[in-house]
Structure 1
């Protein structure tokens, strides 16, 4: 494992890498980035972007509402609600020209899973690009009311006895997430496994779209779920369950959603991609200001966006968390981050972790050339170009592609230069 993930490539993985590289090469040959050098503005004035009703889609919605796409020469950008992450994937496979979408607010691992053909029909490879990270933190792991007496918080092992009893009574333990291999799947699996609960053996993981989580918990369809806001807060506000932990407590300052685009669209429209990226980056700066949170909650709550009461959005935006089990905190630093501290930058080290975790759970093969895959999808170069044109302060531009070693709540350390050591340190994994 260690040898494979580091330098050497087996013949099999070399063939896989060559095939994927050929896909990217074909896209770039068809749409050379310098083809439109003579024109001063974006090649097109619009694009079709998808979003899921989650607070971390705010940069796309704010860019649309505040006229920022128009400001940068892209007045015809559409921001269209998607029913689920599966629908987002399917519409990206279609592409905007075929009544699908060109890009989206997306789970950070999903572009990689699509790019490698792991989650598409007939394993079709759809070349994808990640242009920016949209946010850090503020997802939640919430539990049904029946487990309130366990006192479960960060330590998921407090659920073991209750789960075992329920299973002995012939009932199934259902743990819901939003997409296999996506961020919510990974947070839920990490939390359960750290508590000695095997997510592949001790529970049944099910897929539920984010806006449907609360309704399904209400009728008893699940025992635990992981999703972004505002759905954890809405669950608490409706008295249906409680939040055991926010994901920022599992990994402080963790990356979450991304701005993902079809690679052929980016290669065909490099100036438009940069213009759109600039609009989203400016929106992220606006979203990050605490003075804008009330307006932001009201804006997102509108019928055409989330169609929820602003109070279900606002609390956790400000770091005010009512966990729903008698525990609450005010003004914490667990609120969602959008800009300061390099949030928007698509660190390659973070993408390396997402792929490594998906190797852990069997979504990618152990011999995956992680470094090559990240290089194909991650477009930090475009982010840096956009930041330059946007006159982003030097302090907000990371010095390099890696944020370095990352430490999790259970003491595990991920070194992006040695993912094998991290995998070897984990007890529960599909690889075992």
Structure 2
């Protein structure tokens, strides 16, 4: 796994091994069981232990999980990674027909689920709200989700709290801001979006958070100066063409489809806002993982292996061909090849070559979670200054497990969990997540 975002920030945590369960627990976490009650992670910031200790040289830290000692086995534990009897072999996994789902889809196409003893049925869904409702109802076994969704669902930001774990990242980058052709001569920067009606796929999405980040840099307030509307990704291109929306921020292949149909131009790839940013993720509920720990590990490893295949440049043409099938994305393979190879026309008369337009790095950096929760605070989804960013990330992101899986596949994953994140307009320091949103608000006014 290469590291497109630059510097690595090896931040230490004070942890100890529990003699009862053999797991690592934060020594400053007390007896809080965040797996069942994350409300404790949204609290007063007073007395919070500061993350200021930096390690020198190579860090050999392991992911920390905050959970009851009575819960067994621990899905993040590396000691149970040898082949075990699968509790369940016939599984149903939800996905949306977007290129972000590539690892889940390619694992089916390449026979990787069968390799790990699983019989998987992929269940196509039309919207992220449908995915959320299905997950809370427990209709399926595992889910393709937007990376902020496990945090929002676990915290109960839009429904009752329901513990969801983020097992691995499905894709990094892979989205764009596309604008209707009628605005081609007008839109040059974020300040030019004032008065627009802009489609986003879900409120708890990187699309929403990155769009807000971009607009705010142009002094355009996303809740006052534009109208944000939630639309299922498959509906956006048609509404861009009919003039019902002025712009959209969405996953592929819909940006490239808008260009191919002559209804829009790609204004900005989201990798230009944050190179290597997370987009979608593979997730499962805490309850399902507890009941099926061996199946969960087998499923996770199949998807990480699928991600590794899709990441290789020499495989991108084959990935595009396979994903074009009707049971997957049902889109022409030349459109998908434009996305996967990063060689594409952008609708402005330019041909671009951006090899990491979309990429597949399954490692779930916990600094991703810190950035998301800081933006939840900035835009009022969480109370400002009352969020324990570290506790939320440690409970929801199964970074240790992803590391172990990658090692088993012969990869060399990072040995640490946090890094600096270099964005277009600033640098996110995960050792001070509580300062980030207030600094943004002070700089831009919101």
Structure 2 gaps, min length 5: 1-12, 14-27, 39-65
- Give the equivalent residue in structure 1 for 2:124: 81
User: Counterparts of 1:280-319 in structure 2 under 5 Å?
Assistant: 280-319=303-342
Which segments of 5 or more consecutive residues in structure 1 lack a partner in the other structure? 1-6, 8-13, 164-172
1:298-377 mapped onto 2 (5 Å cutoff) = 298-330=321-353, 332-338=354-360, 343-366=361-384, 367-377=386-396
Whichever structure has more helix as a proportion of its residues is 1
Residue 23 of structure 1: how far off its partner (Å): 4.1
Indicate conservation of the 8 Å contact 1:360/1:429, yes or no: no
Corresponding residue number in structure 2 for 1:146: 182
SS at match of 2:283: strand
Do 1:413 and 1:422's aligned partners in 2 also have CA atoms closer than 8 Å?
A: no
- Return structure 1 stretches of 4+ with deviation > 6 angstroms: 24-28, 36-39, 428-431
Q: Establish whether residue 157 from structure 1 lines up as the match of residue 191 from structure 2.
A: yes
TM-score, normalisation: structure 2? 0.81
The C-alpha deviation readout for 1:27-81, integer Å capped at 9, x for no partner, is 88466449x979833222133211111101011011011110110121x222211
Structure 1 residues 75-119: Cα deviation after superposition (integer angstroms, max 9, x where no partner): x22221111000000000111xxxx22221211000000001112
Aligned-pair Cα RMSD in Å = 2.7
Q: TM-score, normalised by structure 1?
A: 0.83
Pick closer, same or farther for the CA change 1:307–1:198 going to 2, 3 Å.
same
- Between the aligned partners of 2:397 and 2:187, the Cα distance in structure 1 is 41
Whether contact under 8 Å (1:362, 1:431) holds in the other structure is no
Question: In structure 1, how many angstroms separate the alpha carbons of the residues matched to 2:442 and 2:180?
Answer: 24
1:276-306 Cα offsets, whole Å, 9 max, x none, are 1111111111111222222211221211212
Tell me how far apart the structure 2 counterparts of residues 156 and 246 of structure 1 sit (CA, whole Å).
13
Q: Rate the CA distance shift 1:185–1:159 in 2: closer, same or farther, 3 A.
A: closer
Q: Note the alpha carbon deviations across 1:349-393, whole angstroms, 9 max, x for none.
A: 111111111111111222122111111111112213323333x23
Give SS of 1:426's match.
Answer: helix
What is aligned with 1:59? Answer: 103
The 1:259–1:22 alpha-carbon spacing in structure 2 relative to 1, beyond 3 Å, is closer
Instruction: Name the SS of the counterpart of 1:47 in structure 2.
Output: strand
Aligned pair partner of 2:408 in 385, 389, 408: 389
Native 8 Å contact 2:35 2:163 kept in 1: no
